[in-house]
Amino acid sequence: MRASLFAISLITLFSCKNTETKTETPMTETSSKEEQITPFYIGTYTDGDSKGIYKLALQADGSFTQPVLAAEVSNPSFIAFNKDKDIFLAVNENDPGTIESFRVEGDKLLQINQSNTGGAHPCFVAVNDKDYVLVANYTGGNLGLLKLDSKEGSLSDLLDVEQHEGKGTTDRQEGPHAHSAWFIPDGSGIISADLGTNQLWFSKINTETNKLEPASTPKLDFPDGSGPRHLVFHPTKDFIYVLSELNNMVSQIEAKDGSYKILSANSILPDDFTDYSKAADIHISKDGKFVYASNRGHDSIAVLEVQEDGSLKLIANEPTKGKDPRNFQLTPDENYVIVANQNGNNLVSYKRDAETGLLTYVSQINAPAPVCILFE
């Protein structure tokens, strides 16, 4: 969308704000500390200083390398890899909505092609092991289905659209707003969270026709004003945890034999907090012991402990040291958590205690409007 940044611009734009005396290392293909770093990409909004998708890394001590521009892209607000991690996908959150595929070449992403997503303002993309691609179109209120060519890395034209209908009870729910779409880990189907209709939608892919079809249980209603946004699957139990943006709650869903019901719900805000806040992202540790969720407004990461019956208990809220933590991720080894503060224009790292689940601040660095984190 804009010309590439000069090296001096990158240094100015991403100067580290960390108060500790840690030095950021340039991110290059020949870094002598390659074995000690964890590379990752950030998707951004490009209506300000950002030019697109950036690559950087978390070092062994929790500090960051300097980011480099990997691809100049318009509003790449959500990003994903294919199963082999050699093809990179990014939505363009525009109207009309599009999605691009890239080949990974060192620190750069080389565009392969671009396809329509079937609706306006796509905000989420997921890929399964059969190379089907799901896109949630927020303003379009629908899901787009495409397929990835595993050899060439190109995206197909749009194969099908699942149009949602209905509305909720708040001014944010005047119509459907598909916010995410998830392949169920056992391969049995798809779950999409629609903030506008206040429901989870269940479907499956007919692989003979390449069409989306309703599941036997087509929808699950949420309490008025919830606004389901993102979700996670418990790694060993039949539970799904759904984060609702509007009421700042995580709901425990029991999933058995294609049927779903809400068992419990917990706030991700402290009891004494009364100001406006809206939830954004949710993740679960690989051992299933802790759930993490981000608050925009309270600007914190909520730490919730999973109880024996699968219900949750809020045990901490760790400040994010930046405004509006839209996205965050646990590192692949789960030793750290990285938070992307969209309107704080920074990335923040925390050391994670696997026993207690608690987070301890380590470092931060400037980044323009970061809204999605993806590890190599």
Tell me the sheet residues that pair with 59: none
Report the pLDDT averaged over residues 161-185: 98
* pTM: predicted TM-score of the whole model, two decimal places: 0.91
Q: Which CATH number fits the domain that encloses residue 127?
A: 2.130.10.10
Establish if 13 belongs to a structural domain: no
Establish if 242 belongs to a structural domain: yes
The region, left, alpha or beta by phi > 0 then psi within -120 to 50, assigned to residue 165 is beta
Report the pLDDT averaged over residues 14-42: 55
pLDDT in tens, 318-327: 999 999 999 9
Establish if 37 belongs to a structural domain: no
Chain-wide mean pLDDT for the chain? Answer: 92
pLDDT in tens, 119-157: 999 999 999 999 999 999 999 999 999 999 989 999 999
- Residue 315: the pLDDT is 98
Report the pLDDT averaged over residues 277-288: 98
Which residues, other chains included, contact 130 with Cβ-Cβ below 8 Å and sequence gap of 6+?
Answer: 207
* Number of independent structural domains in the chain: 1
- Cβ–Cβ < 8 Å for 168, 224: yes
- The amino acid occupying position 149 is D
* Cα torsion through 255, 261, 263, 265, rounded to 10: 100
Q: Which of 49, 55, 58, 59 is nearest to 68 (CA)?
A: 55
- Residue 35: the pLDDT is 54
Report the pLDDT averaged over residues 206-233: 98
Q: Answer whether residue 357 shows pLDDT above 60.
A: yes
CA–CA gap between residue 86 and residue 306 (Å, rounded):
35
The parent domain of residue 199 ranges over: 84-358
- Residue 21: the pLDDT is 34
Report the pLDDT averaged over residues 73-100: 98
- Cβ–Cβ < 8 Å for 129, 83: yes
CA–CA gap between residue 213 and residue 126 (Å, rounded):
17
**For the chain, what's the residue count?**
376
Establish if 244 belongs to a structural domain: yes
Establish if 90 belongs to a structural domain: yes
Least reliable range by pLDDT among 11-20, 110-119, 269-278, 302-311: 11-20
Q: What percent of the chain has pLDDT over 70?
A: 91
pLDDT in tens, 240-263: 999 999 999 999 999 998 999 999
pLDDT band at 36 (very low <50, low <70, confident <90, very high): confident
- Residue 10: the pLDDT is 39
pLDDT band at 185 (very low <50, low <70, confident <90, very high): very high
Report the pLDDT averaged over residues 227-242: 98
Establish if 23 belongs to a structural domain: no
Least reliable range by pLDDT among 18-22, 83-87, 356-360: 18-22
Establish if 253 belongs to a structural domain: yes
Q: Answer whether residue 22 shows pLDDT above 50.
A: no
Please report, for residues 17, 93, 250, 359, the alpha-carbon distance to residue 40 in angstroms, rounded to integers and kept in the order given.
19, 21, 27, 20
**8-state DSSP, 65:** P
- Residue 29: the pLDDT is 42
Establish if 69 belongs to a structural domain: no
- Residue 90: the pLDDT is 99
Q: Which of 128, 39, 134 is nearest to 84 (CA)?
A: 128
Q: Angle at Cα 91 formed by Cα 278 and Cα 197, nearest 5°?
A: 45
Q: What percent of the chain has pLDDT over 90?
A: 90
Tell me the sheet residues that pair with 98: 92, 116
